[in-house]
Structure 1
Amino acid sequence: MCIAISRELADGEVVLTGAASAIPLAASLLAQAQHAPGLTILGAGVYVNPRRLVPEFTAGWNCHPVAIADMSDVFAITELGIDVMFYGGMQIDQHGSVNVHYVSTSSGRLRGPGMANTALGHTARRTLLFTERHDRRTLTDHVEYASVIGHGYRGKTRQELGLPNQGPAALFTPEAVLRPDSTGVLQPDTKLGELSWSTVADSIGWEVSRSQPADFAATDDEVALLRTHVDPSGILRRSSIIPRLPRPATGNERT
């Protein structure tokens, strides 16, 4: 996921990652090291160009930033817009709308982080969506609450809703990269994981192409940079990263 996301980022762009976004941060650091030395990273909006991968931007995790901004800078960035904003979500739907507010469960409403930086979804030039879960609970046909609107909402397009930016350019999961088609519906573009394509497609909550897309291929240089330069301590390989879907039995498993 990190390598695939890193290829979306261009030299000279300004990107903003969330407070708990190790994958986008790693992707941004990899892009800086590989092909975009002039990329500016705003970690959680306030940590300018972190030089160390951290699981989240909280007290006790020193990301070694070049500079630290304040909340007035964050508000200015929100108003003026940037090049790329990353969003994860409790739900992401077929048009790329993101829900970070709440979802209904059998035991009541489960609350999310809410309004934090959601305005950047409509002022950043484009957004990149990611989730560590590839399942129908997360990848749903319609979000319960549209915190950030994608390529369509309630039968209207971004243009009809008066949203001037490009919206979501891609969605990255552990199993696939999806991009909007001509109608704004996210469709598979690349296969990332090792599961069968039928399993991957069945785990998406809207109708997608049953034809398997091309497999993603990372280069040796990208893998080496990610492991030795971006993430030498193995943060991305730890159990904090949500596991993938169970793999189908092959009959060769060891007990």
Structure 2
Amino acid sequence: MTADQYLYQILSREAVDSGPHSPARGCQALLLPIIQQWAGNQLAGVAPSGSFAKGTANASGTDIDLFISLKSDTTNTLREIYDGLFEWMRNHQFSPRRQNVSIGVKVGGFDVDLVPGKRQDPLSGDHSLFRNRTGTWTKTNVATHIGLVSGSGRLDEIRILKLWRNQKRLDFPSFYLELTVIEALRTVYYGSLSANVWMVFEYLRDSFMTARVQDPANTNNILSDELTQEAKMTIKRTAIQALSAQHWEEIVT
């Protein structure tokens, strides 16, 4: 079995149903009435927004992200929106967890991250999100994120790197990882999956520590600041270990 065959076999095993009967859609259908009751007439929409929407999900260890879009004329502050959703989910017996911009709940064995945001205007997809860790807010555009990643042509490489991250228990936020893979392969032709993944490991070894990664929907949001230098060094060291491995089975399974 070649290296490419081995990696594609893993991707096949980890394939995720993204159709109308997928886990993401099932969780969305179950949660939608509860979210509608909470948001009332201020709800603009609820939709998958993370790896399921981008095409970078793996069957193992993937959260389901649901983006809750509130209308631009919502009068509540971003903190009130975030805290209000948390209390609403707790009152409905979901044992919610406060995260950074999301609220985590369990639905039918799946980890679901609820991301509440308020539209900045009625026409654009720009939203304001509350940052729980800092008590501040940030602007982002989920549609921009989805379009950039899903159209990158690097979904297989991203999925392999996500599996590697999870199996090595690395702290590496998903969107930061996705943009890092895209940047590492920016000048590389499409071709051998294993060769491309190898180049990503080389990038993590050589350039990752000093690379400045911005949110493409908000250049003031520096994604690379989400990790400490110590956390970045752990990623670099683990990439160096991958580059010294004799077999792919030592890198990802």
TM bucket (normalised to shorter chain) is: under 0.3
Question: TM-score normalised to the size of structure 1?
Answer: 0.24
Structure of higher CA gyration radius: 2
TM-score normalised to structure 2 length: 0.24
